[in-house]
Amino acid sequence: MTASSVSVALTGSGGSGVMTAGAMLLEAAAQAGWYACMTRSLGPQIRGGEAAAMLRFSATPVESHGDRFDALLAIDWGNAARFADEIPLDGESLTLGDPKAGEIPEAIRAMGAHHADLALVQTAKRIGGGRPNMVALGVIAALLEIPDPALARTLERVLARKGPDAIEASRAAVAAGQVLARDLPALPKLPALGETSRDGRWQISGNEAVGLGALRGGVRFVAAYPITPATEVLEWLAPRLQQVGGVLVQAEDELASINQIIGASFGGVPSLTATYGPGLALMTEGIGLAVGSETPVVVVDVMRGGPSTGIPTKSEQTDLNIALYGLHGDAPHLVVAPNSVADCLFTAQWATHLAESLQTAAILLSDQALGQTRAVLPRPATAHFEGGRKTMERIDGEYLRYATNASGVSPMSLPGVAGGHYTADGLEHNPHGTPSSLARDHIAQLDKRRDKLLGYDYGEHWAQIEGDGSTAIVTWGSSTAAAREALTELAADGHHCRLISLRLLSPTLPEKMDEALAGVTRLLVVEQSHDGQFHRYLRAHYDLPAEVRSFCRPGPLPMRAIDIRRSLQEWS
């Protein structure tokens, strides 16, 4: 029987190579022509801790986990109980493990899956240089019916650096695993696709996509301080910025990061930093300076479980409040959020373009679920949003840096241009830039900074709107995938709903929202937060239908379509 998707998890600890096996499984499935995504869960140790790789395979693009897993293979059971909640199994599922490598934890056994023993350790020992994780890879590959050429190509690509002996040893171990799988119960099958169907596809993580989007948008200066889970954005950007003539500076803290990028931007270079909650909190004063002085910057926040130090390795959508309201004073600015791994590329590019065009701060809210998920995707479209800053090439006569005009965007003079000197300031100022405490100047500049955002045409990118119906889900960010899947399942049963996923969170666009909600009488607000930050935001800024319900769940567990679907079904 063919399934629309198959989900498999691998677990192990202390150098068992779970992550490597998982990454290779993802690659092999992609080479076989399937779409797939992978997330990881880890214990707190820096190395040698327990780990789980969770994968989902499908004939259609997939970016989030399903409601259950079809199989869980343990290379060993070291502290695997930690992952029980994240790997829901049931009577149709299969658990696999080597009795020589520990006992299946009660929390996992209690879920009622079928169990089969695998002689991973023994099998690996019989092969020179063979490792249990490669045997495990072979087992799963066989269960999924991944064709041999795809496996072979994966081994060559991934192990090329280790040399032909390593490749051969792994190939033999994989083959041995495939043999072991012959005695195992079958898993649901995906439709077999020709390998050409993989042409043009990409494998990328959300954090990498943000980096690439930023480069495409014109970012050439980054200053940042490492923080989980944003560090990978910086690691990806550092060498590549250098290659394009840009630079990444590792700053001493987030206070330095935000101020350094303001300085670089003042000099004319599109600039960005990446952080998460506590770092964003430190940056709020600096972001306010960017807004007040009208200096473009992009601040990427890869959200994770909060508050305070929270749960660093898990996702949550709870920095919405600080992104929207964290600046002191009346400081309108941009807040955008990608709604998928692929959308991280587009939204980072768009955010850069918006920040540059509107001379303001753009906060991009990604999260750990998007950032650290690796997904196989159709080749992303090329967007044409680059730069956008209005500058003065030469000055004739007096130059007013903050002159008021119809668009609210006053051209910026860059250092080096004669006659265009001014002192940028966080103090309120007159059109010339001179500090002013006069009422008329404050009103004029407040209006300018607000109206330039409101008067801009964001096009259709402000939200992604799909489907139709009198019931709608409104959501944002990583919750979108689970919401979409829930609605797809309901549609298959004949219940049609609309999906609205906001990409532009600030400024608010009431007219566009009215259009999006036309005909909607029931609205389910979906978000990964304990207290419904997004729900409150909607209520504060938009006219909502008569019946509104909030589906809000904090991290650490991912949002699941089944829960959203149930919530809608209960609402009858």
Can you give the binding site for another protein, defined by CB under 8 A?
30-31, 198-204, 208, 212, 215-216, 220-221, 223, 240, 242-247, 249, 251-253, 255-257, 259-269, 271, 285-286, 289, 293, 376, 379, 415-427, 434-435
In the complex with another protein, which residue's Cβ is closer, 204 or 234? 204
Work out how close the CB of 207 gets to another protein at its nearest, in angstroms, rounded to a whole number. Answer: 13
Q: How far apart are CA 7 and CA 485, in angstroms?
A: 15
Q: Is residue 491 helix, strand or coil?
A: helix
Tokens representing 102 are 């520990």
Residues 6+ apart with CB under 8 A from 229: 207, 276, 302, 304, 312, 313, 368, 371, 372
Phi, psi of 181 (to 5 degrees): -65, -20
Shorter beta-carbon distance to another protein: residue 431 or 556: 431
Beta carbon of residue 212, minimum distance to another protein (angstroms, whole number):
6
Q: Which CB, 203 or 373, lies closer to another protein?
A: 203
Minimum distance from residue 485 beta carbon to another protein (Å): 24
CB of 333 to another protein, least distance (A): 16
Kindly tell me which of 144 and 223 has the beta carbon lying closer to another protein.
Answer: 223
In 3D, which of 183, 175, 73, 185 has the Cα closest to residue 123? 175
Q: Which is nearer to another protein, 261 or 335 (CB)?
A: 261
Q: Is 279 helix (H, G, I), strand (E, B) or coil?
A: helix
Rounded to a whole number of angstroms, the minimum distance from the CB of residue 84 to another protein is: 33
Long-range pairs, 98-102, Cβ under 8 A, ≥24: 98/74, 98/132, 101/74, 101/75, 101/76, 101/77, 101/132, 102/74, 102/76, 102/77, 102/78
Q: How far is the CB of 500 from another protein (least distance, A)?
A: 29
Closer CB to another protein, residue 28 or residue 96?
Answer: 28
Q: Is the peptide bond before 270 cis (omega within 30 degrees of 0)?
A: no
Cβ neighbors of 440 (< 8 A, separation 6 or more) are none
Minimum CB distance to another protein, residue 428 (Å) = 11
Q: Please, are residues 320 and 365 in contact by the beta-carbon 8 Å criterion? A: yes
List CB contacts of 460: < 8 A, sequence separation 6 or more.
none
Write phi, then psi, for 492 (nearest 5 degrees): -60, -25
State which residue, 375 or 516, has the beta carbon closest to another protein.
Answer: 375
Between 312 and 431, whose beta carbon lies closer to another protein? 431
CA separation for the pair 111, 90 (Å, rounded): 6
| CB 558, CB 315: distance < 8 Å | yes
In the complex, minimum distance from the CB of residue 376 to another protein, in angstroms, rounded to a whole number: 7
CA distance 526 to 64: 15
Of the pair 244, 540, the CB lying nearest another protein is at 244
How far from each other are the two terminal CA atoms of the chain, in whole angstroms?
33
Give the separation between CA 296 and CA 137, rounded to whole angstroms: 47
Q: Which is nearer to another protein, 44 or 245 (CB)?
A: 245
CB of 434 to another protein, least distance (A): 6
In angstroms, give the least distance from the CB of 388 to another protein: 16
Q: By the 8 A CB rule, do 453 and 358 touch?
A: yes
